[in-house]
């Protein structure tokens, strides 16, 4: 066969110096960053419904901060960006939800006083 490598050119498993199978591979500690991100997205969408997203945004910020504490201890942790995104989206949902909740309360008070 033309173009096919000869058997002496084929690298077998564990033959290459960087492919030792028994070498331990670092395992990153697990975080709840994905849970925080899901809660923050639900909170952001729910914030548009009379501020009910506050019930999701507050826990997302708390869980996201705990996940970020873990990821800050280990450089290159794969959940670092997810934790940061969850915190940012959670704070945005908290702000929008708070404004909608204040508006809803103000409207209730206005209609009680007006009628």
38 vs 8 pLDDT, higher one: 38
Q: Tell me the per-residue pLDDT of 42-95, one tens digit each, with 9 for 90 and over.
A: 999 999 888 889 999 999 999 999 999 999 998 889 999 999 999 999 999 999
State the pLDDT at residue 79.
93
With respect to residue 47, please indicate whether it lies within any of the assigned structural domains.
Answer: yes
Q: Are 70 and 29 in contact (CB under 8 A)?
A: yes
How many folded domains does the chain comprise? Answer: 1
With respect to residue 70, please indicate whether it lies within any of the assigned structural domains.
Answer: yes
With respect to residue 97, please indicate whether it lies within any of the assigned structural domains.
Answer: yes
Q: Tell me the per-residue pLDDT of 10-22, one tens digit each, with 9 for 90 and over.
A: 444 454 555 555 4
- Single pTM value for the model: 0.72
- The CA distance from 49 to 56, in Å, is 12
Q: Are 83 and 38 in contact (CB under 8 A)?
A: no
Question: How does the average pLDDT of the chain come out, rounded?
Answer: 84
Q: What are all long-range contacts of 100-103, with beta carbons under 8 Å and residues at least 24 apart?
A: 100/47, 100/48, 100/49, 100/50, 100/51, 101/50, 101/51, 101/54, 102/51, 103/51
Q: Which domain holds residue 91?
A: 33-114
With respect to residue 19, please indicate whether it lies within any of the assigned structural domains.
Answer: no
User: Does position 109 have pLDDT exceeding 80, yes or no?
Assistant: yes
């Amino acid at each position: 066969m033309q173009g096919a490598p000869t058997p002496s050119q084929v690298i077998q498993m564990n033959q290459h110096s960087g492919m030792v199978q028994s070498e331990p591979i670092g395992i990153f500690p697990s975080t709840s960053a994905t849970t925080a991100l899901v809660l923050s997205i639900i909170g952001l969408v729910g914030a548009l419904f009379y501020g009910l997203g506050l019930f999701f945004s507050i826990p997302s910020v708390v869980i996201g901060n705990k996940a970020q504490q873990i990821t800050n201890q280990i450089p290159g942790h794969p959940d670092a960006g997810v934790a940061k995104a969850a915190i940012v989206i959670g704070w945005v949902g908290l702000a929008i939800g708070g404004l909608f909740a204040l508006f809803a309360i103000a409207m209730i008070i206005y209609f009680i006083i007006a009628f």
